Amino acid sequence: MMRVVYLHGFASSPQSKKARWFQERFAQKGIELEIPDLANGDFEHLTISSQLQVIEQLCSGDPVTLMGSSMGGYLAALYAARHPEVEQVILMAPAFCFAKRSINMVGPHKFLQWRMSGSTHMFHYGAGRELPLRYDLIQDAQSYEDYPSFAQQALLFHGIHDQTVPWKLSQNFAARHNNARLWLLDAGHELTESLEIMWDTTLDFLGLEGSVCRSEEEWDAAPHRIGRAKPTVN
């Protein structure tokens, strides 16, 4: 039985609408989509390392398919680069170059205050309110690579209207990794406009029954579809 683990985004939770949507779809295929709480109940002390530890404890070195959104996509790439038992990865608007772009999370002024004081408050979508967050997140993130390199087959989705994580980052990654297939979508960061087409593509990528198996021309003509990104390097 295929094992699939979904990694939610920053300041999100296992209750995210997108995670639950995919969980329902996988359940229809007889697959339980596992959705861990990457903060492990402690958002204040969240780091990249602590989240990778949660993933490692859950996966236990077993063969697994990782599916990650935003920061969860970046974590999936980092974990796959360190764990060859990962079979394949599906990355949705992966937050590559997280440490370098971290100033954009709160703006220059608040970021400086965060660094100086060691703590700030960040809105947590899962909790529905602001929660404290230590600057340890940024310091820890600086020890990780911008673009994790892994050998597993990868499927990437990114919206061309993404205002949170530039789609060019996924394009740059795909241009340097022959094992990656990138689909650019007429969507924003959440990608909720394109869930159905993403699901069809995911079924095809995983070789699951019920995949549409359209030709590339048909994919390009599908709603919310821009087409496969050409391998250009910027």
Residue 233 resides in a domain: no
The reported pLDDT for the residue numbered 18 is: 97
SS3 helix, strand, coil % of the chain, rounded to 5? 40, 20, 40
Average model confidence (pLDDT) for the chain?
92
Joined together, the tokens standing for residue 135 give: 């600057």
User: Does 101 have pLDDT greater than 70?
Assistant: yes
Q: Is the CB of residue 71 less than 8 Å from the CB of residue 10? A: yes
Residue 234 resides in a domain: no
Q: Average pLDDT, stretch 21-35?
A: 98
Residue 58 resides in a domain: yes
The reported pLDDT for the residue numbered 211 is: 56
Of the chain, the percentage scoring pLDDT greater than 90 comes to 88
**DSSP string of 143-184?**
TS-SS----SEEEEEEETT-SSS-HHHHHHHHHH-TTEEEEE
The reported pLDDT for the residue numbered 1 is: 84
Residue 27 resides in a domain: yes
User: Does 180 have pLDDT greater than 70?
Assistant: yes
| Extended beta strands in 42-103, E state | 64-69, 86-92
The reported pLDDT for the residue numbered 232 is: 38
The reported pLDDT for the residue numbered 231 is: 39
**64-68, 189-193, 221-225: least confidently modelled range:** 221-225
Q: Is the CB of residue 26 less than 8 Å from the CB of residue 3? A: no
State how far Cα 73 lies from the chain centre.
Answer: 2
**Three-point CA angle 205, 168, 151, nearest 5°:** 45
The reported pLDDT for the residue numbered 190 is: 97
Q: Average pLDDT, stretch 79-85?
A: 98
Joined together, the tokens standing for residue 43 give: 């958002």
Output the pTM of the full model: 0.92
Q: Over the stretch 208-233, which tens digit does the pLDDT of each residue have?
A: 976 555 555 655 555 455 555 443 33
Q: Average pLDDT, stretch 167-180?
A: 98
User: Does 234 have pLDDT greater than 60?
Assistant: no
Residue 213 resides in a domain: yes
The reported pLDDT for the residue numbered 218 is: 58
DSSP conformation class of 192:
G
User: Does 29 have pLDDT greater than 80?
Assistant: yes
Q: Average pLDDT, stretch 77-98?
A: 99
Residue 14 resides in a domain: yes
The CATH number of whichever domain residue 221 belongs to comes to: 3.40.50.1820
Cα separation of 50 and 39, whole Å?
8
Q: Over the stretch 145-155, which tens digit does the pLDDT of each residue have?
A: 999 999 999 99
The reported pLDDT for the residue numbered 209 is: 78
- How many alpha carbons lie under 13 Å from residue 211 in its C-beta half-sphere? 14
Q: What is the domain count for the chain?
A: 1
Most distant CA atoms of the chain, gap in Å: 54
Residue 30 resides in a domain: yes
Full residue range of the structural domain in which residue 39 is found? 4-228
The reported pLDDT for the residue numbered 227 is: 52
Residue type at 174 in one-letter notation? A
CA distances from 229 to 148, 172, 197, 225 (A): 19, 10, 16, 11
Closest CA to 92 of 207, 200, 227, 189: 189
- Are β-strands 225-228 and 119-124 bridged in parallel, bridged antiparallel, or unpaired? unpaired
